[in-house]
Chains A and B, each alone.
With several copies, the nearest count.
Chain A
Amino acid sequence: MAKAKPEMTRILRIKKENPYVKTITLDMKMKAEPGQFVMIWLPGVDEKPMSIRSSNENLMITVEARGKCSEAFTCLKEGNSIGVRGPYGKGFSHVKDCIMVGGGIGMPPLMNLSESMDGNMRMLQGARTKNRLIFTDRHDMMTATDDGSEGHRGFVTDLLEKEILKKKPRIVYTCGPELMMVKVMEICKRHGVGMEASLERYMRCGIGICGSCVCGKSIVCLDGPVFTMEQLEKNPDFGKHALSRSAKKLTLGEYYGGKE
């Protein structure tokens, strides 16, 4: 298939991860790296970037109902078809003895990465409350919730700091709300630990030509979505600004409508 052409693909299985999140297994094989993403098209509705949850066997994505389109994704049934194009972007490096820090729907690409770590890693997940957590059937998952309904009460970054002090990892991988990732970077810097983070920006083409997703000098869909600490330190917009759908530079607060 041409790289930027959606291929309609049947949904083989749907798994409910929590009341808001579903994992969709597709009738498609794809060679991809953890951290790369695909564009998922729901004909007549919209097309959205989605991290690859797994591509070991069939392609899997994990979707959280956030707005109109993601809501529609979670209402799909087994046997329905959706359009898939990709994989796009640059994924994570692959360094064992790492810590992964995921927030909310930032978990899927980290789960993907973790699968080839032979357990040689620690995984931390933060969420607002217990029923927002996902992949908790994983026995080694450490969790934090804002309301303390499960795991540590407070920020997942508190857990990160504790784990680094316990045993310094060779690298930290993170994906989740951008302010959380900023905090992760601060901690890593303080402790002299390397770090990679996966960014979200508004995407249209996914192939690096439309300029919708730029963040500083970076084209997130092409240069990222995964960036290294060195890259992020030099990026004046990381943790600060994002382009709106109309390419207006907004603060992250404005971009997320105060939700971040």
Chain B
Amino acid sequence: MLPTEFLGIKLKNPLVLASGILGTSPEILIRMAESGAGAVTMKSIGPVEREGNINPNIVEFDCGLLNAMGLPGPGYKNMAGKMEELKNCPVPLFASIYGSTVQDFVDIVKFLREYRPAAIELDISCPNKDDGLSFSADPETTRQLVSEVRKHSGSIPVIPKLTPNTSSIPLLAEACRKGGADALNAINTASGMVINIEARKPVLKYKKGGVSGPALKPIAVRCVYESYEATGLPIIGTGGVTTGRDAIEMIMAGASLVGIGSALYYRGLDAFRLIAGEMEEWMKNNNIDSLQDITGAAHG
């Protein structure tokens, strides 16, 4: 019922571990694969080693999480060992990369090529690094980046990850398409802040952070819907999905795959199996045989 194809890649189900969720180590990515994910995305890889932000890096609020990890990571030059180990990953592996310059992205793509990830996400949407959104601020800059990266990725599909922190998702998505994006991921977190009033301070050391979880869902569904309408590209719908119903909602908005992030907190590490089970049950009750029959069904 749930097996699906995305950019020619076969997946046992449409649920993808979102980037930055437990994706720091090959062992855990493989564990997530074994625990039911249809595909897994690595933590975003940067040009150089980065320690990320000082704690607190995360805080919960009534209906979501706010995080500002600050993209900690060893840098691509220290990733060879991990990439080798990930050859054992039993499900399709998506890499994710970020950079401050076009050249950063290109360098990392060149490094990743030989390890043949199923696709490469471009994290141009991280609100937790000072220049994390610089490639999303205007469509022409976005288009140029995607186009440059696409030249170097060879047969590996490129998937820009969109930010809700924009005045126009259709323009941003269309810029990605024009640049040669093979698919889109919508969305990364929305910029937010939580203040502890007794401490009289933003809780996160970075002050601002990215909103994920249930509070993000209606924004994510809208961004998926708009991206689908604007570009017709395949979409990984990410943001606030914690149940099978949420996943179906994303798919009806136009997502081919569904990113799962904060749900690992809300539902536990068994989230993939739980959500997949709920999807199957709903499909059975509604006489739907295949996800293709409902992808984008909310349009028109």
- CB within 8 Å of B: which residues of A? 2-6, 8, 39, 41, 43-44, 46-48, 81, 83, 204-212, 214, 216-217, 219, 222, 243-249
Contacts and interface: CB of A to CB of B under 8 A. Distances in A.
A43 B65 CA distance: 19
Contacts of B205: 46-47
Nearest to B64: A2
A208 B198 CA distance: 27
A35 B282 CA distance: 35
Q: Which of B58, B67, B262 has the most CB of A within 10 A?
A: B58
Q: Which of B24, B82, B264 has the most CB of A within 10 A?
A: B24
B196 A83 contact: yes
A44 to B, nearest CB: 6
A43 B81 contact: no
A51 B116 CA distance: 42
Interface string B49-76: 1111011111111100101010011110
B212 to A, nearest CB: 9
B201 interface: yes
Would you call the interface of chain B mostly helix, strand, loop, or mixed?
loop
A205 B58 contact: yes
Contact of B49 (A41, A47, A208, A246): A246
A246 B22 contact: no
A211 B59 contact: no
Interface stretch (B25-33, B90-98, B133-141, B182-190): B25-33
Contact of A46 (B54, B78, B81, B200): B54
A207 B60 CA distance: 10
B31 A217 contact: yes
A48 B55 CA distance: 7
A66 to B, nearest CB: 15
9 contacts: A2-B62, A43-B201, A46-B54, A46-B55, A204-B57, A210-B21, A211-B25, A211-B43, A247-B74
Interface of B: 20-25, 27-28, 30-31, 43, 49-52, 54-62, 65, 67, 69, 72-75, 78, 81-82, 194, 196, 198-201, 203, 205, 261-262, 264-265, 269
Given A5-B59, A246-B52, A44 B201 contact: yes
A246 B72 contact: yes
B65 A4 contact: yes
A6 B24 contact: no
Q: Which of B73, B199, B261 has the most CB of A within 10 A?
A: B199
A244 B55 CA distance: 14
B33 to A, nearest CB: 11
B11 to A, nearest CB: 22
Contacts of A247: 24-25, 43, 72-74
Contact of B27 (A4, A44, A214): A214
Given A204-B58, A211-B22, 8 more contacts: A4-B60, A4-B265, A83-B199, A209-B264, A210-B22, A214-B25, A219-B28, A248-B78
A231 B194 CA distance: 38
A208 B265 contact: yes
A61 to B, nearest CB: 16
A51 B295 CA distance: 36
Q: Which of B27, B75, B262 has the most CB of A within 10 A?
A: B27
**Minimum-distance CB pairs A-B, first 8:** A211-B24, A8-B198, A4-B60, A47-B55, A248-B74, A43-B199, A211-B22, A47-B56
A252 to B, nearest CB: 16
Contacts of B57: 204-205, 210
B75 to A, nearest CB: 8
B22 A204 contact: no
A2 B213 CA distance: 14
A88 to B, nearest CB: 12
